[in-house]
């Protein structure tokens, strides 16, 4: 491992604003150009590094997932074709992720640091409503393959103390950290959302746990301090709570984390209600 860069997967997100992230080493920002060249060298030479086969497989699995997810999100792939492709993409991801130590804890970490189950939207977890009309979507119910147009609210929202909507905790004046609920492999991030974009998630992080067969979608983030290909232990920082996303950026929306878990089962990705894991967290 040279200069802390694990492999060419870093190249997948060359514009990640690492220098904006309060949790990233400062040197990352200053040395980005060097990292870029280094990563390019790792890709170009099969003799650099000791684990180039694993790197190649990681790169393929991650690139395939990211390309696929964005095609689905943007409606650039027929639903039937996407359904047909998904099992192979998930098999590759699972195969790559198998090299990491996914020691799963039966208790999950609450995803917003300094908060607990009292901050979860709705009553006793009833904010999880995958089968309804929701927001401005004309579609009833959630289907992963509907992408950015999907219906339903297949997620739990976790609200933070931010009355003035500056993205900082009203009591501490500081950014609010988001952490992993379980051990996870980072499989995709969006870090360049701008107001006016129709993307509903805003800045998002996609994480994966192959043992649980679950994909985690953290949305409306401000900063993100992880990159695709990175393995994160349970409770590791992902970024900070924000107000990004088409509706989440509007004044009427209280600042919150939108958190969806998809379970991969029988060739499909379906919303999983993980409320019991949130409710298990009292401070």
Q: CB–CB of 243/223 below 8 Å?
A: no
Whichever of 155 and 215 has its CB closer to Zn ion, that residue is 155
CA distance 216 to 260: 6
**In the complex, what is the shortest distance from the CB of residue 177 to Zn ion, in angstroms, rounded to a whole number?**
19
Whichever of 13 and 255 has its CB closer to Zn ion, that residue is 255
For 93, the token pair is 């991801």
**In the complex, what is the shortest distance from the CB of residue 190 to Zn ion, in angstroms, rounded to a whole number?**
16
Q: Does residue 243 bind Zn ion (CB under 5 A)?
A: no
Distance of CA 85 to the CA centre of its chain: 21
169-198 burial, b if ≥16 CB within 10 A, otherwise e? beeeeebbbbbbbbbbbbbbbbbebeeeee
Going from the C-alpha of 20 to that of each of 26, 29, 166, the distances in angstroms are: 9, 8, 16
**In the complex, what is the shortest distance from the CB of residue 182 to Zn ion, in angstroms, rounded to a whole number?**
20
Number of residues that bind Zn ion (CB under 5 A): 3
Region binding Zn ion by CB under 5 A among candidate stretches 14-22, 147-155, 171-179, 234-242 = 147-155
Q: Does residue 69 bind Zn ion (CB under 5 A)?
A: no
Q: Collect all residues with Cβ–Cβ distance below 8 Å to 56 and sequence separation of at least 6.
A: none
Q: Does residue 177 bind Zn ion (CB under 5 A)?
A: no
Region binding Zn ion by CB under 5 A among candidate stretches 88-96, 133-141, 154-162, 228-236 = 154-162
**271, 240, 242, 245: which is closest to 256 by C-alpha?**
242
Whichever of 93 and 178 has its CB closer to Zn ion, that residue is 178
Q: Does residue 157 bind Zn ion (CB under 5 A)?
A: yes
* Torsion angle defined by CA atoms of residues 274, 63, 179 and 246, in that order, rounded to the nearest 10 degrees: -80
Whichever of 155 and 214 has its CB closer to Zn ion, that residue is 155
**In the complex, what is the shortest distance from the CB of residue 269 to Zn ion, in angstroms, rounded to a whole number?**
17
Q: Does residue 258 bind Zn ion (CB under 5 A)?
A: yes
Whichever of 86 and 155 has its CB closer to Zn ion, that residue is 155
CB-nearest residue to Zn ion: 258
Binding footprint of Zn ion on the chain (CB under 5 A): 155, 157, 258
């Amino acid at each position: 491992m040279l200069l802390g860069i694990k492999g060419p997967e870093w190249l997948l997100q060359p514009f990640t604003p690492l220098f904006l992230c309060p949790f990233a080493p400062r040197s990352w920002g200053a040395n980005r150009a060097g990292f870029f060249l280094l990563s390019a060298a790792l890709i170009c030479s099969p003799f650099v590094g000791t684990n180039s086969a694993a790197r190649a497989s990681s790169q393929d699995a991650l690139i395939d997932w990211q390309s696929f997810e964005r095609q689905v999100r943007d409606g650039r792939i027929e639903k039937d074709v996407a359904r047909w492709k998904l099992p192979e993409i998930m098999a590759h991801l699972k195969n790559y992720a198998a090299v990491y130590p996914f020691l799963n804890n039966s208790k999950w970490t609450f995803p917003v640091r300094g908060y607990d189950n009292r901050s979860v939207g709705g009553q006793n977890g009833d904010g999880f409503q995958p089968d309804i009309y929701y927001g401005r979507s004309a579609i009833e119910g959630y289907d992963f393959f509907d992408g950015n147009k999907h219906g339903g609210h297949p997620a739990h929202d976790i609200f933070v103390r931010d009355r003035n909507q500056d993205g900082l905790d009203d009591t501490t004046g500081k950014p609010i950290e988001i952490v992993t609920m379980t051990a996870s492999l980072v499989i995709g991030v969006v870090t360049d959302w701008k107001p006016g974009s129709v993307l509903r998630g805003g800045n998002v992080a996609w994480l994966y746990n192959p043992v649980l067969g679950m994909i985690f979608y953290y949305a409306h983030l401000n900063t993100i301090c992880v990159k695709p290909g990175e393995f994160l232990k349970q409770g590791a920082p992902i970024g900070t709570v924000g107000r990004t996303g088409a509706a989440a950026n509007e004044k009427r929306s209280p600042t919150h984390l939108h958190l969806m878990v998809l379970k991969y089962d029988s060739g499909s990705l379906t919303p999983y209600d993980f409320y019991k894991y949130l409710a298990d967290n009292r401070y």
